[in-house]
A and B are shown apart, each in its own frame.
Chain A
């Protein structure tokens, strides 16, 4: 009788500890979001979104150059990364027996675990060192390398969920294989692929390390991907580690904008998949 009580007490105690663990785990998120809003929201203004930085030490200005830079760099990265990732994902799902499928899947896993800073070094030696100048495009290539395996794996997982009967029905009706793949299989999984792509975009939009010595950063508004270019994460880094009070306030505000962008992309991704689930009952 007594032993049973002790065993029950131990069980209860462990559950209690686990609840504590949940609280401790959620706490940092709450604190980070709280501080971002408290310290960042005061610096948000019309100027912040529409102007470029004031000279160092002076007040005023904004981060329009970094917002434009992030949109261009991430946009170019997606243009490179999404077709390759989706194409490779379709290949791996549609030709599961081939040796290339096995190799591609394995390599994608390796690339997925590669630190982003290493990919930055790769983009530097491959592009920047050869061209002898930093460029936004080199940053895009680095981000695309990070993006491709993510998009590929989600595309593959999504397509694998399509029941074979759907394929067989299309083939039986005389559809060629490529139209079956595109019009039936990919079409059915489009929401899932969209979700995966948006999540990948959200991931790379926040990446700083691969841009440090590829896009480099800049103080000026630029639309030329062949030149050094600013990006929001780079701006946060430069301003946070800089010496001026004003810069620190800007770093918080830029971080707040960055996180809003990342979360909005995440919400978009969730909405896409939710529609998918609804459509499939």
Chain B
């Protein structure tokens, strides 16, 4: 980009340039240098992050290896650590969240793009978007003092009566539980799934809809036969993106999941997640091995979320290549 000045670009000999323009070339170089530094800083930051997490978890990696992921031990005093209950808790709570949030957010997204009167589309999307702005810790606060008492006295006993034949809904009801964590996560990831799904649906060309309607489909049939198949991989991407959010969500989950290193069949039982154990134990850890084990957990969580997000992005790009869809919500 040494030919950046317009005069230089059209081939005016450099010696004959007025002084202000040679000065401009320096200005351009300095400007580009500064911007390059800023742009370089971002990959450098990621490299540093990976390096720090890697060196931080080396001690635990050397001690436990990959067996860390398959072990259920968690005894800071004896120095034995295993992440299986944490991984289990992270996956189960995220799965519950998806089971609740996906039908809801897709329903809302489809309604808002295909059926809703034009006047309500923007306001409803805005209001649901507000949910995404609420800090995680406020969800946790609401979860502790409003949602859990309501679940404990109403919803959980009802579920146990109605579905108690399943191991999932048996056993004592404490309140803080895997199910409570799943429900709060569902509320938190819903706006993300909704907004990306909505952008994906908006990117479906109108000719798809018109063709189906012209063949005599009802509006719902047009959605099912023409719109959803076209948007399928983008919607899957939106869902996976929500999964990525749920996996890494920390505060609200920590406050409602009960924080116990156990694998229980019942959804009413307390559990633990990878993010929650870091939040709870990191500032209280004493031994180097404990710190290292927690950093190892963080490293594992990082790798998992990167993979999940990369998959989501790939799927969304396939639908909306070049149209910039989803970019704002991501």
On A, residues with C-beta under 8 Å from B are: 7-8, 10-11, 14-15, 17-22, 24-26, 28-29, 31-32, 35-36, 39, 83-88, 90-92, 94-95, 100-101, 103-104, 107-122, 124-126, 129, 145, 148-149, 152-154, 157, 171-172, 174, 176-179, 181-182, 202-203, 205-209, 212-213, 216, 233, 236-237, 240-241, 248, 251-252, 255, 258-259, 262-263, 266
29 A-B pairs in the complex with CB atoms less than 8 angstroms apart: A8-B218, A11-B221, A21-B111, A25-B104, A25-B105, A29-B127, A29-B134, A31-B142, A84-B38, A88-B35, A88-B41, A104-B39, A107-B43, A113-B305, A115-B301, A117-B248, A118-B248, A122-B52, A157-B324, A176-B4, A176-B28, A177-B4, A177-B28, A177-B31, A178-B28, A233-B137, A236-B138, A240-B255, A258-B137
* Of the residues B144, B255, B279, B295, contact of A212 by C-beta under 8 Å: B279
CB-nearest residue of chain A relative to B219? A11
Besides A104-B39, A209-B275, A233-B135, 5 other A-B contacts (C-beta < 8 A): A18-B108, A32-B139, A104-B40, A115-B302, A233-B137
Instruction: Describe B's contact surface by its main secondary structure.
Output: helix
6 interchain residue pairs of minimum CB distance: A115-B248, A206-B135, A87-B38, A176-B24, A21-B107, A178-B31
| Distance A51 CA – B288 CA, assembled complex (angstroms) | 38
Contact A21 B104 (CB under 8 A): yes
Alpha-carbon distance A172/B136, docked complex (angstroms): 50
The answer for the CA separation of A92 and B278 in the assembled complex, in Å, is 35
B154 within 8 A of partner (CB): no
Contacts of A259 in B (CB 8 A): 134-135, 138
Residues of chain B with a CB closer than 8 A to A255's CB: 137-138, 141
Interface string of B29-73 (1 = CB under 8 A from A): 011101111111111011011001101100000000000000000
Q: Residues of B within 8 Å of A, CB-based: how many?
A: 92
Q: Is the CB of A36 within 8 A of B248?
A: no
Residues 100 to 141 of chain B near chain A (Cβ within 8 Å): 103-105, 107-108, 110-112, 115, 124, 127-128, 130-131, 133-141
Interface centre among A117, A125, A145, A262 (most CB of B within 10 A): A117
Of A29, A88, A107, which is within 8 A of B38 by CB? Answer: A88
* A21-B103, A108-B42, A157-B327 given; A118·B142 CB < 8 A: no
Chain A contacts of B108 at CB under 8 A? 18, 21-22, 25
Q: A121-B282, A179-B27 are in contact. Are A236 and B330 (CB under 8 A)?
A: no
Distance (whole angstroms) from the CB of A12 to the closest CB of chain B: 8
Query: With an 8 A cutoff between CB atoms, is B251 at the interface?
Result: yes
| A125 vs B30: C-alpha distance when bound (angstroms) | 34
* Separation of A94 and B28 alpha carbons in the complex (Å): 12
Verify B52–A126 contact, CB threshold 8 A.
yes
Q: Across the interface, do A248 and B145 meet the contact criterion of CB distance under 8 Å? A: yes
Query: A258: which of B31, B138, B283 is its contact (CB, 8 Å)?
Result: B138
Asked whether B269 is an interface residue with its Cβ less than 8 Å from the other chain, the reply is: no
